[in-house]
Chain A
Amino acid sequence: MKRFTVAILVNNQFGVLNRVTSMFRRRQFNITSLAVSETESTQFSRITIQSEGDEITKQQLINQLYKLPDVKSVLEFNPDETVSRELLLVKVKNDPEARSGLTAASDAYEGKIVDYTKESIIIQMVGDTRKINNFVKLMKDFEILEICRTGIISLERGATTIDKNVFI
């Protein structure tokens, strides 16, 4: 099954995320990643959802999204024309044997150590999903205490933006 990512511009209102995800649930569309935030306008929020399925599923999903009155625009990303990022925070056990390996791994992936105590280190990492996955795999050689990821956020390359004037 192919994964795809869409950005959904919605009214910035109480309960909107529930309306969107409720539609996903009842029509059995899978959500593999989800990120939500306000936009430059307080009027709108932006939901970025990664889902999976064939072309018909994708089209059906987009059509169903447009039926929600709170959905103002849906942008489907072409992976070649998209900048996608996730942020990872991983807390690993800090001990003298692991220390040098951890910092080397973090450096190699351009990560940043944002918390350092005797017992634990938090590494912050920004990248696309594959990079984050690879780094998490690497961290499994150490003792992971906790992991947290933001989910994918995406913007199209170039000056084009999600259309805020599309009202369907």
Chain B
Amino acid sequence: MKLSGSDIIVRTLIEQGVDVVFGYPGGQVINIYDSLYKYQDELKHVLTAHEQGASHAADGYARATGKVGVCIATSGPGATNLVTGIATAYIDSVPLVAITGNVPTTVIGTDGFQEIDITGVTLPITKHNYFVGSIEDLADTIREAFRLAKSGRPGPVLIDVPKDVQVAKYDYEPQPVVEADESRAAKDIRIQQAAECINEAQRPFIYFGGGLITSEAQDELLQMAELIDAPIGCSMMGISGVPTDYPRFLGMQGMHGHYACSMGMHNADCIIALGARFNDRVTGNRAKFARTAKIVHIDIDGAELNKTVTAAHGLRGDVKKTLQKLIPLLKKTEHPEWQAKIAQLVEEEEAGLDSREGMTPRNVINALNRYLGENTPVATDVGQHQMWAAQYVNFKNSRRFISSGGLGTMGFGMGAAMGAQMGTGERSVLITGDGSFGMNLNELATAVAENIPMVILLLNNSVLGMVRQWQTLFFDKHYSNTMLTGRQTDFVKLAEAFGAKASRALTLEELESSLQEAFAWNGPYLIDCAIDKDEFVLPMLPPGGSMDDIIVRIGD
């Protein structure tokens, strides 16, 4: 069957099991959009307000489902607008396929209208990218992109298709969905050595990241924790990997992590790290990080081993498969002294928790918690609200915390929450701030057009709170460009202007009735929730500090 290149693109996406793509039309993808029109009954296209929104939506879809997210943009500015979204997905290991159009091959290299070297631009932020110079390679390149995106450590792949390749005709035969490469367990000898190390530990600590979720190794993790009597902590990317209320789970570790978790990890003599990469927000001052601990590091990406911290045992392999081989080698042990120490840390943490009444971040998130279903995806933007969400939102199931971890992309949340909703069919929640929301609020238009059931909880403090917090603590309260009070944006009117529902909550009572209405509404609903500008995210590990420098309350 001979098809045009643009038809081949759409048919191959359908063939690969894609049910929704996010994008924005333009001159050099007009043929692809013609094919999307033709096959609209088989493949849904969501028109976003901006290509960045499309990339974040595809990302949110992928994080929530584990499937490959797909976005489409035209050449030039369309392609460059995807860049932040691709980079966000890259650093958080999210499987994404981005398809861009480009000027015809005859024009490539001549600085044609809307020509950009997008494969060059995205070289360091994709697992791989392709410029498809001839129609013969088109279908197989797309298949290969899907294989790469989902194999091993997942990540984004970009395919740049010049206009004449979209127009040309070539044979197309549907193929089965490409499988991810089979992942392997770490080498037996390494597993053996790691087991010996864990069996000797008196203060074991299990620490996991996003890799645990990708590998779907929750059962094995909990089994190991019970066997070796270890507390569990996670990185921000690990959140929702185990239920928040699981008794051994101490929550998130790191710069704004839970006190008991950070201190527990600091005091451990053996850290078993699963699918985590020890970045600077986790380690603080690397030289002072977990000095008493031997690290057993299991990761599918061998390049993560010994990258930032030296592991006593670096195990390159799939977390789930490696744990399945490791667990039978572990001795059933109990560590009452260590558990007593952890219990004491938890007690200290609870004593230090914010118990004020009124619209405190903790009370706001706790109010939200009562409305969340077991499968509600909760997306965030970046800043203080993100950390409060990470600290206080209760999760039952995996893949439900949708947040830009590595890149810290303000403006991520609107697209991501829409994509997560579409991927799961569940009402989604976006916790955002007035700073972040301002970056991509144009996607309200998309949420209205698609009538996406989503609750936008906007923590509005009229400042760029996270930067302001640093300015308060480390820059003598020089609030340089972090006050948003001059803006006077009325977010309720703004949401209504877009056609969404909205209400304002100045008190917890008002918040309660807003939440009630929002979770009953079949469409996007924004709650403008006022909080004080001087709320802090605590605890805080000062940048470059160690756990000994942890700030638990202001004035310490």
Show the binding face of A for B, using Cβ within 8 Å. 15, 18-19, 22-23, 26, 56, 59-60, 63-64, 66-70
**B136 touches A (CB below 8 Å):** no
User: Which 10 residue pairs across A and B have the least CB separation, nearest first?
Assistant: A63-B303, A69-B128, A63-B302, A26-B124, A64-B303, A22-B123, A56-B306, A67-B303, A60-B307, A69-B148
**B127 touches A (CB below 8 Å):** yes
A167-B127 Cα distance, complex, nearest whole Å? 16
Given A56-B306, A63-B302, A63-B303, check contact A69 B119 (CB 8 Å): no
Q: How far in angstroms is the closest Cβ of chain A from B80?
A: 18
Given A15-B119, A69-B148, check contact A60 B127 (CB 8 Å): no
Q: How far in angstroms is the closest Cβ of chain B from A105?
A: 45
Given A15-B119, A63-B302, check contact A69 B127 (CB 8 Å): yes
Q: How far in angstroms is the closest Cβ of chain B from A76?
A: 14
Report B-chain residues with C-beta under 8 Å of the C-beta of A64: 303
A23-B120 Cα distance, complex, nearest whole Å? 12
Mind listing 14 A-B residue pairs with CB under 8 Å? A19-B123, A22-B123, A22-B124, A56-B306, A56-B310, A59-B306, A60-B306, A60-B307, A63-B302, A63-B303, A63-B305, A64-B303, A67-B301, A69-B127
> Which positions 275-316 of chain B face chain A at CB distance < 8 Å?
301-303, 305-307, 310
> Which positions 110-126 of chain B face chain A at CB distance < 8 Å?
119-120, 123-124
Q: How far in angstroms is the closest Cβ of chain B from A20?
A: 11
> Which positions 128-144 of chain B face chain A at CB distance < 8 Å?
128, 131
Cβ-closest chain A residue relative to B304: A63
Cβ-closest chain B residue relative to A64: B303
A18-B129 Cα distance, complex, nearest whole Å? 12
Residue pair A66, B302 in contact (C-beta under 8 Å): yes
A66-B127 Cα distance, complex, nearest whole Å? 12
Report B-chain residues with C-beta under 8 Å of the C-beta of A63: 302-303, 305
Report B-chain residues with C-beta under 8 Å of the C-beta of A26: 124
Report A-chain residues with C-beta under 8 Å of the C-beta of B148: 69
Q: How far in angstroms is the closest Cβ of chain A from B307?
A: 6
- Extra inter-chain contacts (7) besides given A18-B123, A60-B303, A67-B127, CB under 8 Å: A18-B120, A26-B124, A56-B306, A63-B302, A66-B303, A68-B128, A69-B148
A55-B338 Cα distance, complex, nearest whole Å? 36
A66-B148 Cα distance, complex, nearest whole Å? 14
A105-B482 Cα distance, complex, nearest whole Å? 69
Interface of A is mostly: helix
Q: How far in angstroms is the closest Cβ of chain A from B262?
A: 26
A56-B308 Cα distance, complex, nearest whole Å? 10
Cβ-closest chain A residue relative to B153: A67
Report A-chain residues with C-beta under 8 Å of the C-beta of B124: 22-23, 26
A63-B119 Cα distance, complex, nearest whole Å? 23
Report A-chain residues with C-beta under 8 Å of the C-beta of B307: 60
Report B-chain residues with C-beta under 8 Å of the C-beta of A59: 306
Report A-chain residues with C-beta under 8 Å of the C-beta of B120: 18
A69-B127 Cα distance, complex, nearest whole Å? 8
> Which positions 362-380 of chain B face chain A at CB distance < 8 Å?
none
Report A-chain residues with C-beta under 8 Å of the C-beta of B303: 60, 63-64, 66-67
Report A-chain residues with C-beta under 8 Å of the C-beta of B301: 67
A22-B128 Cα distance, complex, nearest whole Å? 12
Report A-chain residues with C-beta under 8 Å of the C-beta of B128: 68-70
A26-B122 Cα distance, complex, nearest whole Å? 13
A59-B306 Cα distance, complex, nearest whole Å? 9
Report B-chain residues with C-beta under 8 Å of the C-beta of A22: 123-124
Query: CB-defined interface of B427-468 with A at 8 Å, one 1/0 digit per residue?
Result: 000000000000000000000000000000000000000000
Report B-chain residues with C-beta under 8 Å of the C-beta of A18: 120, 123
Cβ-closest chain A residue relative to B155: A67
Report A-chain residues with C-beta under 8 Å of the C-beta of B127: 67, 69
Report B-chain residues with C-beta under 8 Å of the C-beta of A70: 128
Q: How far in angstroms is the closest Cβ of chain B from A22?
A: 5
Report B-chain residues with C-beta under 8 Å of the C-beta of A67: 127, 301, 303
Q: How far in angstroms is the closest Cβ of chain B from A116?
A: 42
Report B-chain residues with C-beta under 8 Å of the C-beta of A69: 127-128, 148
Report B-chain residues with C-beta under 8 Å of the C-beta of A68: 128
A26-B91 Cα distance, complex, nearest whole Å? 14
A70-B128 Cα distance, complex, nearest whole Å? 9
Report A-chain residues with C-beta under 8 Å of the C-beta of B119: 15
Q: How far in angstroms is the closest Cβ of chain A from B253?
A: 24
Report B-chain residues with C-beta under 8 Å of the C-beta of A19: 123
Q: How far in angstroms is the closest Cβ of chain B from A66?
A: 7
A23-B310 Cα distance, complex, nearest whole Å? 22
Report A-chain residues with C-beta under 8 Å of the C-beta of B306: 56, 59-60
A64-B123 Cα distance, complex, nearest whole Å? 14
A19-B123 Cα distance, complex, nearest whole Å? 7
A22-B117 Cα distance, complex, nearest whole Å? 15
A63-B306 Cα distance, complex, nearest whole Å? 11
A68-B123 Cα distance, complex, nearest whole Å? 11
Report B-chain residues with C-beta under 8 Å of the C-beta of A60: 303, 306-307
A60-B302 Cα distance, complex, nearest whole Å? 9
Q: How far in angstroms is the closest Cβ of chain B from A59?
A: 7
A68-B126 Cα distance, complex, nearest whole Å? 10
Cβ-closest chain A residue relative to B305: A63
Q: How far in angstroms is the closest Cβ of chain B from A162?
A: 19
A68-B127 Cα distance, complex, nearest whole Å? 7
Q: How far in angstroms is the closest Cβ of chain B from A106?
A: 44
Q: How far in angstroms is the closest Cβ of chain A from B89?
A: 16
A56-B128 Cα distance, complex, nearest whole Å? 25
Q: How far in angstroms is the closest Cβ of chain A from B56?
A: 23
Q: How far in angstroms is the closest Cβ of chain A from B142?
A: 15
Report B-chain residues with C-beta under 8 Å of the C-beta of A23: 124
Cβ-closest chain A residue relative to B125: A26
Cβ-closest chain B residue relative to A69: B128
Report A-chain residues with C-beta under 8 Å of the C-beta of B302: 63, 66
A3-B480 Cα distance, complex, nearest whole Å? 46
Cβ-closest chain B residue relative to A19: B123
Report B-chain residues with C-beta under 8 Å of the C-beta of A56: 306, 310
A70-B302 Cα distance, complex, nearest whole Å? 17
Q: How far in angstroms is the closest Cβ of chain B from A58?
A: 11
Q: How far in angstroms is the closest Cβ of chain B from A18?
A: 7
A64-B306 Cα distance, complex, nearest whole Å? 12
A67-B307 Cα distance, complex, nearest whole Å? 14
